[in-house]
Structure 1
Amino acid sequence: MTDIAGEGTAADDGQAPSRPPDAAMGRVVVLTQGGPNPEILVNALKRRVPDLLVVEEKPESKKAMLRQKVRRLGWVTAFGQMATMAVSKFGKPLARRRASEIVRQFGVDVRPDPALPRISIDSANSAEFVRLVGELKPAVLFLVSCRILRPETLRAVPCPVLNFHAGINPQYRGQQGGYWARVMGDEANFGATVHLVDAGVDTGGVIGQVRVTPSRKDTMHTYPLLLTAAGTDIAARAVADALAGAVRPQETTTEPSRQWYHPTLWRWLWTGMTRGIW
């Protein structure tokens, strides 16, 4: 594992991230729903992978998200989580200054590169995507901020499938891993993971992890950005290993594995007001 500590910044050993050897080159396809955070990883990979292509799927509708949450968690919790997502948007303008600081500290780029080839699809769990994978013949499929792939979709992908997760697995699988690490008083596990993808939610073998220390200015709006900016090197190394056929899952902690979700509105407000964790 790679551990990086600091006040919202990464340690710098003065060495450039590893670049996969030319003999191991192959096409890498990034599957994402787009956005500034995924573009950080896309831009980091493009400097190391000559044949990189981005497939963007349409985000799920709020209605579809609510239906899924109700099935899993019940009406009360589902509406509480959706309320947090809605109300927390008002805090985004306040987080812009901290977001700019993170971008400068880590030297990352959140802007889409218009020169990169991009293909738009409706859903990764579609026959359209399966056909596309057959046509593109990727050596590696890299997921960041996209739908959970169904087992039948995974079976149709004949190459290693990696995922970037803004949380430490297996303790903080699912959503808002950084936030929950802080809420649980476990800031030593405020970090990000790159792992192999299986049929579970962030349950595949861990390939690399990075840990950082959040600033007092960080909130739920900036935790994912901070973790993504800190995770560019583990993402690049994982893709390099996959291209070289050298992916070796690491042993992880024996602590219990748990899947987390967005906090309900009442818990988010209470934790923020009583503990200063937003």
Structure 2
Amino acid sequence: MSAKQSRIAVVTAGGPHVWVIVNALRDRLGDVTVILEEPESKKRLLLRRARKLGWIEVAGQLGTMVFTRLRKLVLSGRDRAALTSRGMNTEPRDDQPIVNIASADSPDLADAVKKLGAEVVLLAGCRMLSQRTLDQMPCPVLNYHAGINPAYRGMNGAYWALATGDAGNFGATVHLVDAGVDTGDILHQVRGAPEPGDNLTNYAMRLAAMSRDICTQAVEDVLEGRAKPTMSNLPSKQWYHPTVWFYVWTGLTRGVW
């Protein structure tokens, strides 16, 4: 649907965990418009990654992606029911304004943001924005990242914190966006712990539930002109999907699935 002007825009490719955050923003801050991009082709993503990491590594990552996808089909209903019982809505509301674009990393994004008159943009599960796209944005751009930056940039930060024995950094970050991979200055972070039975298929949902406050606080800070970006002394590393053989090994030896 088309959208009227809105101070807050959330850019995403969708997903139940994203609606948990969007609905929390609406409850606390009022009108929020979602700019919904078409999901990036998995084939294109894997080809790009193979050029960087090699085909053996990417084949192993694909195995994990398929395994967890099948597992999610079985368990996602249970996870949603658990969140719903705690008052969290994993679906868009009937009156949710949505603007559809083909890609977040395109002039269409800046055009949509300008038409909305948005004063802040929160990315939550969408393509990376190039410097060219960022230069066109008329307001601050934040990102919700399901990992503790800079130690767990990239993919599956919660899993990697557990798999590497760093459970104290099971958490999420809201940060300013630059052209790097989760390298912008930090606004807020939250740390917590998984619950029994959690695994790679639902860490994103668990972190979204934990992160409602930091997302709303970061957006509100920008709107009120009181955002205070900070740096971290943690080591910086970018992570990807685990290979299926590493994933099975951590599950069997460390109980981290």
Q: Specify the TM-score bucket, using the shorter chain as the normaliser.
A: over 0.9
Give the match for residue 235 of structure 2: 256
**5 Å matches for 1:11-50?**
27-50=7-30
Of the candidates 206, 212, 215, which is equivalent to residue 226 of structure 1? 206
Q: Distance in 2 between matches of 1:52 and 1:99?
A: 22
**Length-normalised TM-score, structure 1:** 0.86
Shift of the alpha carbon at 1:50? 2.8
Of the candidates 101, 121, 127, which is equivalent to residue 82 of structure 2? 101
Matched, 1:275 2:254: yes
Q: Distance in 2 between matches of 1:248 and 1:138?
A: 20
**5 Å matches for 1:96-175?**
96-105=77-86, 107-175=87-155
Give the match for residue 265 of structure 1: 244
Residues 61-84 of structure 1: per-residue CA shift (max 9 Å, x gap): 121111111122111111211121
Gaps of 5+ in 2: 1-5
Shift of the alpha carbon at 1:171? 0.6
Give the match for residue 19 of structure 1: none
- CA change 1:241–1:218 in 2 (3 A) is same
Of the candidates 192, 200, 204, which is equivalent to residue 184 of structure 2? 204
Residues 11-68 of structure 1: per-residue CA shift (max 9 Å, x gap): xxxxxxxxxxxxxxx6101100011010001100111233321110000112111111
**Length-normalised TM-score, structure 2:** 0.93
Q: Amino acid of the residue matched to residue 29 of structure 1?
A: A
Q: Amino acid of the residue matched to residue 79 of structure 1?
A: A
Count of residues in correspondence between the two structures: 252
Q: Distance in 1 between matches of 2:23 and 2:75?
A: 26
Shift of the alpha carbon at 1:198? 0.8
Q: Distance in 1 between matches of 2:146 and 2:40?
A: 19
Give SS of 1:34's match: coil
% of aligned pairs identical? 46
Q: Amino acid of the residue matched to residue 101 of structure 1?
A: A
Q: Amino acid of the residue matched to residue 272 of structure 1?
A: G
* Greater Cα shift, 119-128 or 234-243: 119-128
Residues 158-199 of structure 1: per-residue CA shift (max 9 Å, x gap): 211111111111111111000000011111110011111111
What's the Cα RMSD here? 1.6
**5 Å matches for 1:184-195?**
184-195=164-175
* Greater Cα shift, 94-103 or 231-240: 94-103
Of the candidates 44, 48, 67, which is equivalent to residue 87 of structure 1? 67
- CA change 1:95–1:131 in 2 (3 A) is closer
Matched, 1:63 2:27: no
Shift of the alpha carbon at 1:116? 1.5
Gaps of 5+ in 1: 1-25
Q: Distance in 2 between matches of 1:110 and 1:34?
A: 11
Q: Amino acid of the residue matched to residue 82 of structure 2?
A: E
Residues 237-257 of structure 1: per-residue CA shift (max 9 Å, x gap): 0000000111111342x2210
Q: Distance in 1 between matches of 2:141 and 2:177?
A: 6
Shift of the alpha carbon at 1:103? 4.4
Give the match for residue 3 of structure 2: none
Runs of 4+ displaced beyond 6 Å: none
